[in-house]
Structure 1
Amino acid sequence: MALRSSPAALETATDLRILELAAEHIRRFGIERTSVTGIAEAAGMSHANVYRYYPSKTALFDEITAAWLKSLEAGLRIIADAQDPAFDKLERMVFAIHRTYREKLESDPKIFRLFVEATGKAAPVARRHRTRVELEIHRILDEGAGSGLVEIKDARSCLKLVLDALHRFVDPAAIARDIDQTRPELEERVARVMDLLRLVLASGIHDFKLQNL
């Protein structure tokens, strides 16, 4: 006797099918020309049925972005949980973010543009991702402070310094602007900034003021 799929499994399959079709339409037609009606037709359902799964086109597009970011976020948690020294983990984490964004930009530019636009608008999907990234970086800095590798007087200012110093390499819009720069060139710059951060964080002077120089 053939096994029947459960209602929950069917819902999940339909959900994923809608996401796949939406991403396919964005790649073929671009963000502006992709419509819920067109996706619904490709899925063989009414556009009202698509809205059962996603309340708006924006929500649908945000889920496409969230889907490919999940594996990166999982990888960052693995890095943060590792037994390596804090600075080594921070460097691995930064390179993981930079390389994942760059790879997506090169291999799937129209889907990456969704992420750039979501970040520019401070959309929930972008804010959630940034919060998760910041959490893992904070964990590493906190661990470094506990082991004596990092001098932290103000955890928030320390985190801001790291994010500001690395902005060019971990901000999606900045990465898109650097598309004409080769990977080796950018990764060499990442390595130089990481070396500088290592010195600054270990020295405890990351909360300096320019007038004190």
Structure 2
Amino acid sequence: MPTAPPPETNEARLVDIARAHVRKFGHARTTVVGVAADAGMTHANVYRYFPSKSALLDEVVASGLRPLEARLRDAADGADPAHDKLERMLIAIHRDYRAKLDDDPAVFDLLIEALAKNRPSARKHRARVQSEMQRVLEEGVASGAFSMTDRRRAMSLIFDAAHRFIHPVALRLDRDAPAGAIATRFEAVLAMMLRALRTGRL
């Protein structure tokens, strides 16, 4: 007999309500009082779970990024060659951010705000992405798949080459460009980047 899913926690419910308010009103006009009212509690009770509006909105950002972070971990843990893993991870980041930009612009703007103000959600997400990339890079160097053995140089190459396609601010600047055209250009950049990693030559 299937087990029932665990009941939603108050924290998760407040985050869901806050996300809905961001979509409806924008993050600047979202208030703890409004979230509390929809949750059927006082705003003082909300502060038992989140010490500030910033902390609550930061969790909206973080919770939206966790599925992508999980996909990156799964890719890094996989059995594929390092260059395939790296390509798949970068494409996953591009597609995830682009989908958020297109389908959930108000929450995407909140992500931009978190990046601009160096919020914990943005810092931790950036560190997790870099950590998974670093793991795959180390694997590629150890296996001989990558001839570029200077780790710092290789990481700089990856993020410099991919910046336009995986940084939320850059993606927002390209919002009006056809997604297919951007994807085609990204594939060309990925091919050049991976070739440089394999050969050790730029």
TM-score of the superposed pair, with normalisation by structure 1: 0.88
Residue 154 (structure 2) aligns with:
158
Residue 59 (structure 1) aligns with:
55
In structure 2, C-alpha distance between the alignment counterparts of 1:142 and 1:110, rounded to whole Å: 37
Residue of 21, 24, 27 corresponding to 2:20: 24
In structure 2, C-alpha distance between the alignment counterparts of 1:188 and 1:132, rounded to whole Å: 27
Deviation at 1:153, TM superposition (A): 3.5
SS at match of 1:166: helix
Residue of 47, 53, 73 corresponding to 1:77: 73
Equivalent residue letter for 2:195:
L
Are 2:39 and 1:40 equivalent residues in the alignment? Answer: no
Over aligned residue pairs, what C-alpha RMSD do you find? Answer: 1.4
Task: Name which one, 1 or 2, has greater alpha-carbon Rg.
Answer: 1
Deviation readout 1:21-41 (Å, 9 max, x if unpaired):
111111111111111111111
Q: Which moved more, 1:153-162 or 1:76-85?
A: 153-162
Q: Confirm or deny: 8 A CA contact 2:141 2:149 kept in the other structure.
A: no
In structure 1, C-alpha distance between the alignment counterparts of 2:148 and 2:116, rounded to whole Å: 30
| Seq. identity, % | 46
* Correspondence list, 1:97-176, <5 A: 97-176=93-172
Deviation at 1:152, TM superposition (A): 3.2
Aligned residues: 197
In structure 1, C-alpha distance between the alignment counterparts of 2:117 and 2:157, rounded to whole Å: 23
In structure 2, C-alpha distance between the alignment counterparts of 1:202 and 1:154, rounded to whole Å: 12
Q: Confirm or deny: 8 A CA contact 2:86 2:136 kept in the other structure.
A: yes
TM-score of the superposed pair, with normalisation by structure 2: 0.93
Residue of 81, 84, 88 corresponding to 1:88: 84
Equivalent residue letter for 1:180:
D
SS at match of 2:87: helix
Residue of 187, 192, 197 corresponding to 2:193: 197
Structure 1 gaps of 5+ residues are: 1-8, 207-213
Deviation at 1:203, TM superposition (A): 2.1
In structure 1, C-alpha distance between the alignment counterparts of 2:70 and 2:128, rounded to whole Å: 10
